[in-house]
Structure 1
Amino acid sequence: MLTLTEPCRQQPPALRIGFWLLEDFDLYALANALEPLRLANQVDGRSVCQWQIVSLEGGNLNASNGIATATTRLDQAHPLDVLILCGGDNPDTPAQSQELRQQLHHWAAQPVGLGALGKAGWLLAQIGALDGFRCSLPEPGPSPSFCASSDLSPVAAPFCVDRQRLTCVGPQAVQGLMHELLARSHGRGLVLRMEKHAARQARPLQSVHNAPAKLQATLALMNDHLTRTLAIDELAEAMGISRRHLERLFKRSLGCSPSRHYLDLRLQRARQLLQTSQHPMTDIAQQCGFVSLQHFFRCYRQYFGAHARDHVEAG
């Protein structure tokens, strides 16, 4: 089992997560949990995490919006490191199921991480699985069984991971919970790369039609020197301004440093060549100013979240 208390310093095995669905579960919360896991695998270029969708009886289970989701019987699931309960707005009714309670008690005693999304956390609280643990829980429902236990230690945070317990207040906090889980199992560097990748995908190279003339001239010079890249001091000298002034122009107009934007231009050019030319990757890397193929592959994967070879096949 992977520990959830300290970041791993060596490359750990894939984190095995089970999502335990209850009838009328929140599909939005489940999607918010799965997307970071998918992105982690994409950014890292390997199977950082694996997941299964399970339920007590298996078969199709309806979400609160009526969409049916296929599940595997919980007792037939592959070995797990973490099991996360996914309910809906009113998880109190299924909590009365004797079988559900027995299974919750069983898994609470296992050496695995046990968590819940949103109000499903109150099911863990009802059986005492959160006693002695810090936890993040939404406001309790009107049901008498949703009473606060004196042994609970709620925190004023959208999500919480305390040893082998994972909780969050609702669908919007699920992504943060998954990021924290990945950080503890595979290191915070992975989460940082995921966040950078998502930010870059949401912000393509920006238009500079209305940018200052000095900035537009610098960008044109960068485009003319993608193979033999120029140092930032050389660019500033060519524009007749200080390096500090050039950096301010980039930060104000493009929200990044000159070196960051220069690398973006080179990587965008590399992707274009991969998809439209038959040149070997070594030649493409050199044409875009990379001193080695390994450095090119690393920068490319960090930027696009995929290996350069993937875009040759896609072209």
Structure 2
Amino acid sequence: MQKWTKTITSPVRIAFLVFDDFSNLCMANCLEPLRAANAVTHHHMFDWRILTLDGSPARTSSGIQIVPHGELRSMTSCDYLFVHASYGHTGHDTRPTRQALRAAAARAVTVIGLDAGPWLLASSGLLRGRRATVHWDMLTAFSERFLDVEVVRARYLRDGPVMTCAGALSALDMVLDLVSAHLGEAARLDVEDQFIKDPPRTDGTGPGDPLVSRALDLMRDHVERPLSLPALAHRLSCQPRTLDRHFRRSLGAPPGTVYRHLRLSTARKMLEGTGLGVAEIALRCGYESPAALARAVRDRFGATPSALRKRTL
């Protein structure tokens, strides 16, 4: 079961190695959740650099030129090394590339192959004896080429220090799971709200919990006048204890904790993004008084409503 909140003391260090004709949608689905996690927590939780083999600009599959932060050999130790290739991956599969990947993998805690990136990882010997996936258009060719890899049709997989991801939409799910692993489900839920995305999947690969999804929709629709747990369960045609069990299994917290988090996240957005007074925001977020909201905000965010507002001025 995922923890609802977690604390990290230093940024998670990430390196993105990109090859020409990589998918910018896949890249965006990795970077934007990390950016959003930094934004919603107001802390620099994730730090990343974009690299190419030789430090030269790379071109995306849609023709956009990307200027990297540096070359791969300048990469210091990191928590995650994302290897991102898409179209024309066989042209990148050279002896120098394989040597560079093996050297870089030794400086990373976890190596992640995106889209066609697993092909380069397998060719470099980094997937030998492991389970892996790749973009599904390449599954047959991949399995025929790399007999020492157990090929699985999956959105993404982890096997020891290596992860493989099938493509752009899978990348979003994978990175959201990384946000949850490092910051907890509360941060993940806030990031998902930035993308209007369904709640977390219960196992990282399957469909989300329908009961939790419907409950979250009801909670968001009733921020101003919060529903009691029995009333919420009644609308969902289930027992309160059933709802509690589903929330704890899927989100790592009871419904009341999640509900308060959603209301306070809404209050913070209003404090930081509108000119509404604290009394009006308290009313819109279901608090009986400005003082009650102020106490809740201070307990949750460690700052007064006025201090949160000043952050955006």
TM-score tier by shorter-chain length is 0.5 to 0.7
Q: What's the RMSD between the two structures over aligned residues? A: 4.7
CA distance in 1, matches of 2:307, 2:73: 40
* 2:175 paired residue number: 178
C-alpha displacement of 1:90: 2.3
Q: Secondary structure at the match of 2:40?
A: helix
Give unmatched runs, 5+ long, in structure 2: 199-221, 237-254
Q: Secondary structure at the match of 2:292?
A: coil
* 2:88 paired residue number: 90
Give unmatched runs, 5+ long, in structure 1: 1-5, 202-218, 224-228, 234-242, 250-255, 302-306
C-alpha displacement of 1:77: 3.2
Of 24-33 and 185-194, deviating more is: 185-194
Q: 1:66 aligns with which of 60, 63, 73?
A: 63
Q: 1:68 to 1:198 in 2, by over 3 A?
A: closer
Which structure has the greater CA radius of gyration? 1
C-alpha displacement of 1:38: 0.8
Answer whether contact 1:297 1:308 (CA < 8 A) is retained.
Answer: no
Q: Secondary structure at the match of 2:67?
A: strand
Query: Which residue identity lines up with residue 275 of structure 1 in the other structure?
Result: G
C-alpha displacement of 1:265: 11
Compute the TM-score of the two structures, normalised by the length of structure 1: 0.65
How is 1:20-169 mapped onto 2 (pairs within 5 angstroms)? 20-71=17-68, 72-96=70-94, 98-139=95-136, 141=138, 147-169=144-166
CA distance in 1, matches of 2:177, 2:53: 27
C-alpha displacement of 1:117: 0.7
- What do the CA deviations read for 1:110-152 (whole angstroms, capped 9, x no partner)? 4521111111211111122111222222246499787342321
Of 191-200 and 47-56, deviating more is: 191-200
CA distance in 2, matches of 1:230, 1:64: 47
Answer whether contact 2:132 2:159 (CA < 8 A) is retained.
Answer: yes
C-alpha displacement of 1:293: 3.2
Q: 1:123 to 1:189 in 2, by over 3 A?
A: same
CA distance in 2, matches of 1:56, 1:104: 9
Give aligned-pair identity as a percent: 21
Of 290-299 and 266-275, deviating more is: 266-275
Answer whether contact 2:113 2:121 (CA < 8 A) is retained.
Answer: yes
Q: Secondary structure at the match of 1:11?
A: coil
Query: Which residue identity lines up with residue 38 of structure 1 in the other structure?
Result: R
Q: How many residues align?
A: 264
CA distance in 1, matches of 2:74, 2:119: 25
CA distance in 2, matches of 1:55, 1:74: 6
C-alpha displacement of 1:47: 1.3
Answer whether contact 1:86 1:116 (CA < 8 A) is retained.
Answer: yes
Q: 1:137 to 1:147 in 2, by over 3 A?
A: same
Q: Secondary structure at the match of 2:43?
A: coil
